[in-house]
Amino acid sequence: MIEPQHHTTKIEKTAYYSTLGKASKNVKYLWIVCHGYGQLASRIVNKFTSIHSEEHLFIAPEGLSRFYWDEKRGIVGASWMTKKDRLIEIAEYSNYLQHLIDQYLPMCAPETKVIAFGFSQGCATIWRWMMDKKPDLHALVTWAGMTPEDLDYLSHKDYMDSIKLFMIYGTNDEYLTEPRVKFQLKIEQEQGLNIRHFSFDGKHEVDRKVLEELLPHFL
């Protein structure tokens, strides 16, 4: 009996993203913002309306896989990757994120700083893109998500030390529980990562007020 075989083929695909602000020489901070599992780019970018100004341009790419988050109500969400053919998916979204940075950064001021922001599943997405492409980042902000444990950060210590690293989470986060936070600290210690932690009284969400209060630390 002939066994079925698994193949891959390259096709042209349309990717979606949302922006808040306009690219101009007034932009001092270019943000690349990755949403969480089941979200859409248009939803996550709305979290930044209160801190937006002409100095900030927010670009929110959307996960390359869409699905019905709530089929009965017709609500659509997106995901960055699954464990199936994960290396291919990581390579493809890394190319996607880098493409957006390469497209928009030349339209901004020469001294524009890039801030990477990930929420929940978007945290691992940002980390993997960063370690794959080594973009020139000013800061990495992970919110309600962990640092991937399977990456080698020690071998790139000089690069990691050149970036401001932050982790923000709610003390009542139902996903990022206390044991997971402790595991995160273990990763940081073993990999020599200097990540500043901030917690707030909240759940698995981007709290706009907390974001406003922490903004000076990221700049």
Strands (E), the chain: 17-20, 29-34, 56-61, 65-70, 75-79, 113-119, 139-143, 164-170, 195-200
- Asked whether 167 and 200 are in contact (CB, 8 A), the reply is no
Pick from 9, 15, 39: nearest CA to 103:
15
Q: Does pLDDT of 214 surpass 80?
A: yes
Radius of gyration over alpha carbons of the chain, in Å? 18
- Asked whether 145 and 119 are in contact (CB, 8 A), the reply is yes
Mean predicted lDDT score pLDDT of the chain: 95
Q: How far is 132 from 129, CA to CA, in rounded Å?
A: 5
The whole-model pTM stands at 0.94
pLDDT, tens digit, 9 for 90 and up, residues 87-128 = 989 999 999 999 999 999 999 999 999 999 999 999 999 999
Q: What stretches of 9-120 show up as alpha helix (H) in DSSP? A: 41-45, 86-104
b or e along 82-93 (b: 16 or more beta carbons within 10 Å of the residue's beta carbon)? eeeeeeebbebb
Q: For the chain, which domains are there?
A: 17-218 (3.40.50.1820)
Residue 45: pLDDT band by 50, 70, 90 thresholds? very high
Pick from 208, 205, 130, 204: nearest CA to 164:
130
Instruction: State residue 146's pLDDT score.
Output: 95
Residue 67: pLDDT band by 50, 70, 90 thresholds? confident
Instruction: State residue 53's pLDDT score.
Output: 94
pLDDT, tens digit, 9 for 90 and up, residues 171-196 = 999 999 999 999 999 999 999 999 99
